[in-house]
Amino acid sequence: MKNAVFTVALAVALAGCGSGEHSPAPATPEPGPPRAAAPAKAEPSRQPVHHVNINPQPEPAAKAVQPIQHEPIMKPTKVAPAKIVKTEAEWRATLTPEEYRILRQKGTERAFTGKFDHHFKDGTYVCKACGTPLFLSETKYNSGCGWPAFYKSIDNTVDVTRDASLGMVRIEITCKKCNGHLGHIFDDGPNPTGLRYCVNSASMDFVPAEGKTAARKK
């Protein structure tokens, strides 16, 4: 019995071996060089969008810059008088020879000879040529220099000019209205200005204050 089973098993095994070829195992592909990665697809560059104004409006004109207006540091208390212009013949006809020599030819009277040197009445000293008020009596003082002296002129009535005549440098004072020579100004006067307006008597006239004829204290 055992021999019969063995015989059958052997026959079956031989029959399986000769019935056909074994299916070959699938071939494993040989490794090749690595594939290069596909380049990334570049995105198209974005161009800036320009908005076109189909109805352009004119740009507003730039406003002009207005200069800053500054107030003057000092405001004159009086308006400068209008200039008086005359010919020399006309001046000669209205002035005495001594007045003409001083006012028009820039002369100087001798010290201690002028009528206003020791004059101290209340009133106003005016230009002899044109009548412009020049000095108030309260600004006059006795300087001892031999000529009428004032420490201040009436505002905006006197001009000052550098004078280099006679071998010295001085500051000439003239009437602003008629340009008549008055004298010179020095920096040795009393307070509150420290100035001395040294004026020829012949270049001035005097208008007394109303109701005041008495001499005031020096």
Pair of tokens at residue 28: 């494993």
Confidence band for 5, pLDDT divided at 50, 70 and 90: very low
Confidence band for 47, pLDDT divided at 50, 70 and 90: low
pLDDT at residue 128 greater than cutoff 50: yes
42 or 128, higher pLDDT? 128
Note if 198 is an active site residue.
Answer: yes
- Domains recognised in the chain with CATH numbers: 88-208 (2.170.150.20)
Strands (E), 75-203: 123-127, 133-136, 140-141, 149-150, 158-163, 170-175, 181-186, 196-199
Q: How far apart are CA 148 and CA 186, in angstroms?
A: 13
Catalytic residue among 127, 130, 175, 198: 198
pTM for the whole structure: 0.61
Among 127, 145, 125, 126, residue whose Cα is nearest residue 137: 125
Please write the tens of the pLDDT for every residue from 95-106.
Answer: 999 999 999 999
Please write the tens of the pLDDT for every residue from 64-77.
Answer: 555 545 444 334 44
Q: Which residues pair with 207 in a beta bridge?
A: 124
pLDDT at residue 2 greater than cutoff 60: no
Confidence band for 80, pLDDT divided at 50, 70 and 90: low
